[in-house]
């Protein structure tokens, strides 16, 4: 026991003396956090970038444009150039829609009320955008019509937002980010460190002593578990302070759930690193093990968007219960008692992966 | 009363596919001696050593070390021997002191790292990392590390290869000091001068077989008996004597 602890302690010191290892362990997940935090953070409101061509010089048309762009829904793009170049930009996705007010827009009609027809251009490939913009504008115009004709419509629609939890996109994404950084800490870090020690002969030297592979595996798990916990903690602190992460559950429940999760993921790193002869082998094995977890476990998009049959299969991928569990704790305030199925699956993977690790470990 | 040999090797064999690299060799090492294994590259020296050290599976024959069967109880063997490997290394960014403590714990011993480092003249390097050591210092540290468990047998695989004459002489003295403390030493070497000076007895290996086994003196005597004469008159001094006379015996590192 003393040997395992002293080994873990010595390895931890060694780790903190290695600037490259420190960078990849602590800065990498943070870069990831900032990139995805930037994408999913921000404003959740729908906003359309619009180029407006007002060919009318009526006061009504001018007021209409300024009212439209002073709201939150439309953001006017003024550097779009000609209508043709604006349509081109729309084709590339730089603009959402193009509005044209014809020359006679706002001119009085037979009842001497302002009238006219708006032209809305949208990309054929994005019919939803076109429909949404058209319906938003229709309701704006309907309001104006009602004011002008002084009539109240007998029927109307009242919009009520259904996501009353008040959680932002980032709050949902963060659980995926935490799961992903645990995965990358465990697999990308460990799987290359162990073969590097084989290559330079330092494991060869330890092999000549009574220190057993099982002791080496447990010692490595301990020190890397400690380092990983620090990295995740740092990520959480930044998520809460910079991205206003809204934690619904308890941090204690999160910690209780994370420990077995991380032990399981470390097992995969130990398995790949321990079984590989050299760094080339471990690089290939790392991809084989990590890629399915990265793309099929709900890191980048939730699993419930997958077809049913794929959901059924991907539920058993080791990282899936981890991300599902974290998401349920952080967004639904679930506790480890509620997460029995997830923890059971994680326990099963722990047994399996550590048995394989002990069996397939090689000193050189 | 004849003392039991500390190492008894009988018909030791190693095969790789269809080639046999060690062909059923037998020899004994006496307690307290310095035993050398010489031979050209590829003769099977390192393979033989690694089988005795329980680092490589034994394909045929037996090895008894201090009466323990190496193939059956490799873990017991590791506890009573010290090994300096040819192609091993130490963790980078871990000081010599920390390394010795860690290696001590592998044997369940709490060692005094400074005492060990002093015995190999590395006390002032206790806070250095192994990657900052010179060749000679590295070898001396490697020996210090092999001594953490106070072994009965110390194995040294080509301990002086690549060292300058001063460092080599320094290491010879160290090996003799360790041996004087009662530790049996088994070493391999390419240097005849080293073998002649250090070893009580020698085995010369070629192509997986032992072709001679005796003390250096006896081997030379037998050669002369067969009518061997050197072509030139033996000189009173050679170039190494000149070199050491000019540069001194003091260690440079």
- Condensed to tens digits (0 to 9), the pLDDT of residues A44-67 reads 556 778 888 888 888 888 888 888
Q: Is the pLDDT of residue B71 over 70?
A: yes
The answer to whether A2 faces chain B, any CB pair under 8 Å, is yes
CA dist A233 and A227 (Å) reads 10
Q: Are residues A114 and A195 in the same domain?
A: no
CB contact under 8 Å between A14 and B83, yes or no, is no
The proportion of chain A whose per-residue pLDDT surpasses 90, expressed as a percent, equals: 35
CA dist A9 and A6 (Å) reads 5
Q: Are residues A36 and A179 in the same domain?
A: yes
Q: Are residues A143 and A207 in the same domain?
A: no
The secondary element (H helix, E strand) that includes residue B224 is: helix B216-225
pLDDT in tens, B120-165: 999 999 999 999 998 889 999 999 999 999 999 999 999 998 888 8
Phi-psi region of A173 (alpha: psi -120 to 50; beta: other; left: phi over 0): alpha
Helix (H, G, I), strand (E, B) or coil at A284: helix
Residue A53 lies in a domain: yes
| Pairing outcome for strands A119-122 and B7-16 | unpaired
| Pairing outcome for strands B60-65 and B7-16 | antiparallel
Q: Are residues A120 and A205 in the same domain?
A: no
A23-32, A192-201, A310-319, A350-359: segment of lowest average pLDDT: A23-32
Helix (H, G, I), strand (E, B) or coil at B154: strand
The secondary element (H helix, E strand) that includes residue B67 is: none
Q: Are residues A125 and A263 in the same domain?
A: no
pLDDT in tens, A238-249: 888 888 888 888
> How far is the CA of B239 from the CAs of B161, B165, B236, in angstroms?
19, 12, 11
Predicted local confidence at residue B253, as pLDDT: 66
Residue among B83, B105, B109, B145 with most chain A CBs within 10 A, to mutate: B105
CA dist A71 and A293 (Å) reads 43
> Mean pLDDT across the stretch B47-75?
94
Evaluate whether A19 touches A227 at the Cβ level (below 8 Å).
no
In angstroms, how far is the first alpha carbon of chain A from the final one?
24
Residue A160 structure tokens = 């009520």
Q: Which of A117, A149, A181 is the last residue of a domain?
A: A149
Residue B99 lies in a domain: no
Q: Is the pLDDT of residue A127 over 90?
A: no
pLDDT in tens, A193-247: 899 999 988 999 999 999 999 999 999 999 999 999 999 999 899 888 888 888 8
> How far is the CA of B212 from the CAs of A202, B25, B48, B220, B242, in angstroms?
35, 11, 16, 11, 33
The answer to whether A10 faces chain B, any CB pair under 8 Å, is yes
CB contact under 8 Å between B89 and A201, yes or no, is yes
DSSP structure string for A297-354:
TTSSS-GGGS-HHHHHHHTTSTHHHHHHHHHHHHHH---TTTTHHHHHHHHHHHHHHH
Predicted local confidence at residue A44, as pLDDT: 53
Does pTM top 0.80 for this prediction? no
Q: Is the pLDDT of residue A164 over 60?
A: no
> How far is the CA of B231 from the CAs of B228, B234, B235, B240, in angstroms?
9, 9, 12, 20
Residue B41 lies in a domain: yes
Evaluate whether B31 touches B40 at the Cβ level (below 8 Å).
no
Evaluate whether A361 touches A271 at the Cβ level (below 8 Å).
no
The answer to whether A214 faces chain B, any CB pair under 8 Å, is no
Range of the domain at B173: 7-91+151-247
Size (chain A), residues? 364
Q: Are residues A34 and A127 in the same domain?
A: no
Evaluate whether A142 touches A153 at the Cβ level (below 8 Å).
yes
Q: Are residues A254 and A125 in the same domain?
A: no
Number of domains forming the structure of chain B: 1
Residues sharing a CB contact under 8 Å with residue B232, sequence separation 6 or more, in sequence order: none
Range of the domain at A142: 48-149
Number of domains forming the structure of chain A: 2
Interface residues from chain B to A (CB-CB < 8 Å): 53, 55, 75, 78-79, 83, 85, 87-94, 98-99, 101-103, 105-108, 145, 149
* CATH number of the domain residue B11 falls in: 3.40.50.300
Residue whose entry in the numeric block shows the structure tokens 């990520």 = A235
Q: Which of A118, A149, A180 is the last residue of a domain?
A: A149
Chain B residues with CB-CB distance to A209 below 8 A: 78, 103, 106-107, 149
Size (chain B), residues? 253
Q: Are residues A230 and A356 in the same domain?
A: yes
Q: Are residues A28 and A117 in the same domain?
A: no
Q: What is the 3-state secondary structure (H, E, C) of A10-24?
A: HHHHHHHCCHHHHHH
Q: Is the pLDDT of residue A161 over 60?
A: no
CA dist B151 and B114 (Å) reads 18
* CATH number of the domain residue A106 falls in: 3.40.1710.10
CB contact under 8 Å between B53 and A14, yes or no, is no
Residue A133 lies in a domain: yes
> Mean pLDDT across the stretch B163-180?
92
Give helix A340-360 / helix A251-275 axis angle, nearest 10°. Answer: 20
The answer to whether A207 faces chain B, any CB pair under 8 Å, is yes
Question: Contacts for B162-166 with beta carbons within 8 Å, 24 or more apart?
Answer: B162/B135, B163/B135, B163/B136, B163/B139, B164/B135, B164/B136, B164/B252, B165/B240, B165/B243, B165/B244, B165/B247, B166/B136, B166/B244, B166/B247, B166/B248, B166/B249, B166/B250, B166/B251, B166/B252
Residue A273 lies in a domain: yes
Q: What is the ipTM of this complex?
A: 0.86
Q: Tally DSSP H helices, then E strands, for chain B.
A: 9, 10
Predicted local confidence at residue A162, as pLDDT: 60
């Amino acid at each position: 026991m003393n040997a395992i602890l002293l080994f873990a302690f010595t390895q931890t010191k060694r780790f903190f003396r290695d600037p490259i290892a420190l960078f990849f362990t602590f800065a990498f997940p943070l870069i990831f956090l900032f990139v995805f935090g930037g994408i999913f953070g921000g404003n959740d409101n729908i906003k359309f970038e619009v180029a407006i061509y007002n060919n009318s010089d009526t006061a009504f048309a001018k007021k209409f444009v300024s009212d439209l762009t002073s709201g939150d829904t439309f953001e006017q793009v003024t550097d779009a150039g000609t209508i043709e170049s604006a349509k081109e930009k729309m084709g590339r996705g730089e603009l959402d829609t193009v509005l044209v007010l014809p020359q006679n827009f706002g001119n009085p009609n037979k009842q001497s009320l302002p009238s006219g027809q708006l032209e809305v251009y949208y990309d054929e490939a994005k019919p939803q955008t076109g429909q949404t913009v058209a319906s938003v504008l229709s309701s704006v115009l309907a309001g104006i019509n009602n004011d002008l004709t002084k009539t109240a419509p007998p029927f109307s629609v009242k919009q009520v937002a259904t996501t009353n939890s008040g959680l932002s996109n980032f709050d949902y994404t963060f659980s995926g980010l935490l799961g992903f950084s645990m995965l990358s800490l465990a697999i990308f870090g460990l799987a290359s460190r162990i073969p590097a020690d084989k290559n330079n002969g330092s494991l060869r030297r330890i092999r000549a002593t009574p220190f057993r592979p099982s002791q080496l595996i447990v010692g490595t798990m301990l020190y890397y578990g400690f380092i990983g916990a620090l990295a995740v903690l740092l990520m959480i602190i930044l998520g809460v302070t910079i991205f206003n992460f809204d934690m619904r559950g308890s941090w204690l429940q999160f910690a209780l759930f994370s420990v077995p999760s991380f032990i399981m993921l470390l097992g995969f790193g130990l398995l790949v690193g321990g079984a590989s002869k050299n760094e080339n082998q471990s690089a290939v094995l790392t991809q084989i093990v990590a890629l399915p977890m990265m793309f099929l476990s709900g890191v980048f998009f939730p699993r419930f968007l997958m077809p049913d049959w794929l959901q059924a299969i991907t539920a058993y991928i080791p990282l899936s219960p981890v991300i599902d569990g974290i998401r349920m704790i952080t967004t639904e305030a679930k506790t480890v008692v509620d997460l029995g199925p997830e923890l059971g699956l994680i326990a099963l993977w722990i047994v399996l992966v550590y048995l394989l690790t002990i069996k397939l470990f090689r000193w050189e | 009363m004849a003392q039991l040999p500390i190492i008894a090797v009988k018909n030791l064999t190693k095969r790789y596919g269809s080639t046999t690299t060690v062909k059923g060799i037998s020899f004994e090492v006496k307690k307290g001696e310095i035993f050398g294994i010489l031979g050209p590259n590829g003769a099977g020296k390192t393979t033989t050593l690694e089988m005795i050290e329980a680092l490589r599976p034994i394909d045929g024959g037996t090895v008894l070390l201090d009466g323990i069967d190496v193939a059956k109880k490799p873990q017991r063997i590791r506890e009573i021997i010290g090994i300096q490997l040819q192609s091993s290394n130490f963790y980078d960014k871990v000081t010599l002191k920390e390394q010795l403590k860690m290696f001590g714990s592998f044997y369940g011993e709490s060692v005094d790292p400074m005492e060990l480092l002093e015995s190999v003249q590395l006390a002032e390097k206790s806070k250095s990392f192994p990657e900052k050591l010179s060749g000679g210092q590295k070898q001396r540290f490697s020996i210090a590390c092999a001594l953490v468990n106070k072994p009965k047998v110390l194995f040294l695989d080509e301990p002086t290869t690549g060292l300058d004459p001063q460092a080599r002489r320094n290491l010879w003295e160290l090996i003799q000091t360790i041996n004087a403390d009662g530790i049996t030493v088994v070493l391999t070497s390419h240097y005849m001068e080293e073998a002649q000076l250090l070893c009580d007895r020698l085995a010369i290996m070629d192509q997986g077989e032992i072709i001679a086994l005796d003390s250096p003196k006896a081997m030379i005597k037998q050669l002369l008996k067969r009518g061997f004469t050197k072509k030139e008159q033996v000189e009173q001094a050679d170039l190494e004597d000149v070199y050491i006379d000019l540069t001194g015996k003091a260690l440079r590192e």
